[in-house]
Structure 1
Amino acid sequence: MLSTTRTRAALTAIVVVAATLLASCETPPPPPPPLVAAPPAPPPITLSSSIVEKASAFRGYMQRAGAIGATFENGDQIQASLKVGVAYEPKQFLSGATAYAAVLALQDPTYVASVRSFATDPVQRQSIINQIIADPAYAVGFKGSDTAAGRIIDTLGAEGLRLYTAGKAVKQAAYDVQRAKWSTLPVLDRDGRLAYAKTMSATPALADSADVAALQQASMGGVPLVPAPPAAPAAAVTVSGPRSAPPPYKPLVIRGLAVAALAALGAAGDNNLATIDAVMVEPASAMCLNMAKLNLYQCLAVAKPHYEDVFCLGQHIMIDTSMCVLKASGAALPYEPPPPPKPEPVVTKKKPVAKKRASAKKKS
């Protein structure tokens, strides 16, 4: 019995020693792989609330002014329409058009995806941001810029054409309304209405809160914007369709693309507002709007009867402003027939007057 126990103990010891020897002969397991930190997530798309409010103010004015009718029954109705038409400040209006262009560009998924592909690497992202700020035309180089530009041109073109068409009808009403006796009566408080026009032209317009929310969602790639109703069937525009608009583009379109690209890179938030405002400056279109205001002031200063106020409204508020928007966007301009040639003055040839014969001198 004792020998059996000793034998078992010896065998157990041998097994342990053998297992130890075998374990020492095996290859040690490889060390665990080093932990690789995941790249930082790209910043979200950010567009300053101030920029969105400017876009809303622009869109709101274009809708209100484009809805001015051409049927006038009294002077009060004319003055009410004038108050709607004069209520924009040129600098804010132009910034709003550019901001609206940026929101439209952010609706283009191809353009946004192309820009955001460079947002993962912080160094590369900052380099592209710097290049866009230095030269906004750099934003045209991203894939999808042609369809994003098409959205801008088509939408602003539809808005401008709608206002232009309404302005043409109002301008014609300035002649038609003269059949009514009241339209030939003098405007009351002519100086007051001119002062009001100048005051409202220096006052930034307010944005609609519901429209601001819609534009904010659209800038994040949310619900597509609803375009303004077309002025005529021929002017219908499908904003949701990706129409390719080849370059070159107008400065307003380029700057709208640049702001959209900065927003897609997360560099157009409230902290970047000063930089974005500088990117949106566009002097040529500002001159057009300032000239429209100057012509309006001169028109109101000399207008006396009511029908002349209607002309000022149709021509210098609605038509002139719409043409500034159309030219700034690069949209097709409406056809304007050339003025009829001036009649040539009729020159009547004078009949030659027969010279009187000198009377012969009598011979003395």
Structure 2
Amino acid sequence: MARFHTLRLERVSRRFGRHQALHELELEISGGEFVALLGPSGCGKSTALNCLAGLLPLTGGAILLDGERIDQLAPERRGFGMVFQNYALFPHMTVRGNVAFGLRMGRVPKAEAAERTDRALELVHLTEHAHKRPGQLSGGQQQRVAIARAVVLEPRLVLMDEPLSNLDAALRLEMRAEIKRLHRRLGLTTVYVTHDQEEALSLADRLVVLRDGRTQQIGTPEEVYARPANRYVAGFMGYRTMLDAPLVATDGEHAQVDLAGTRLTGLDRSGAAAGGRVTVAVRPEDLDVVAEGGAGLPARVEVVEYHGRELAVEAALSDGRQVHFRTRARLAPDDEVRLAAPAERVLVFAADDDRTRTAAANPKAVTAS
């Protein structure tokens, strides 16, 4: 398999008319790395992938492979493999024919092509289905064919565009494990596009979070999950409760915040002066119901959803704003509770924090007093 040391995107941009779909993306990928481009629809992640693949020309910047520019090369000359969201299989060909198609187009000798096709089918556990056509396969099996077709070419880079979005929940979990296994076993370098943060966290060595074509944060899954760079990243990474509050006092490191009549003390990430507005962010799984008489935010339960061992609960503070939490306590609508979270699990941002950062920031803790 062809190898490389470094793939570098230097200020890569793509414009469609007056719309800037991708704005000066800077990213360096090492050989063997798994990088996920993460964000909602329209954030620029698929545009970036298509620019890498050569399916879209750049309107600015450059792509370099081990120091040599490749952004002006045709897609077939880049040596990359592609796995599409809709699989893009040939319905009239057998599984074996689909997997071998690229080798045939590349004029690989028949004996070698047959050996590589057999090996690829074995890797994705489809040997016994080699004679079938795509329409006779399940969605998961079709996705395995698409993956085999990409890796049989022994590509320098594998590009995956939302490859699991058409599968049901159980198949997504199965295929996630399969993709990770193949990545490690074959020593692949992979760029993976997804809108699913759980998928990205479980698969990638590094995440690139995008918004409106701009990079918001680049970091390991742990960095992006535990130390989101701004409130946009925090919201995308599962901080469902995000509440604006006045900043009562700050010394630049510690802050006192008034939230629905409860004074909160924590580390200040907002950069705001006393009297300014901040946003308090916390994940549902990090809010706990405290014992009767304990300190915390008073709230009234409004919606309870059964999730097996836990309940997912939406409750209202005294000012009517919603908070979301998970608990094993048996709660019902109209129950009164008090909520608290470990200091290191609650983040405080400036209320207008839409700044772009590529380095992981330190978390800011908040405690109820």
TM-score after normalising by structure 2: 0.23
Structure (1 or 2) with the larger CA radius of gyration: 1
Structure with more relative contact order (C-alpha pairs < 8 Å, separation 6 or more): 1
Task: Please state which structure has a larger fraction of its residues in strand.
Answer: 2
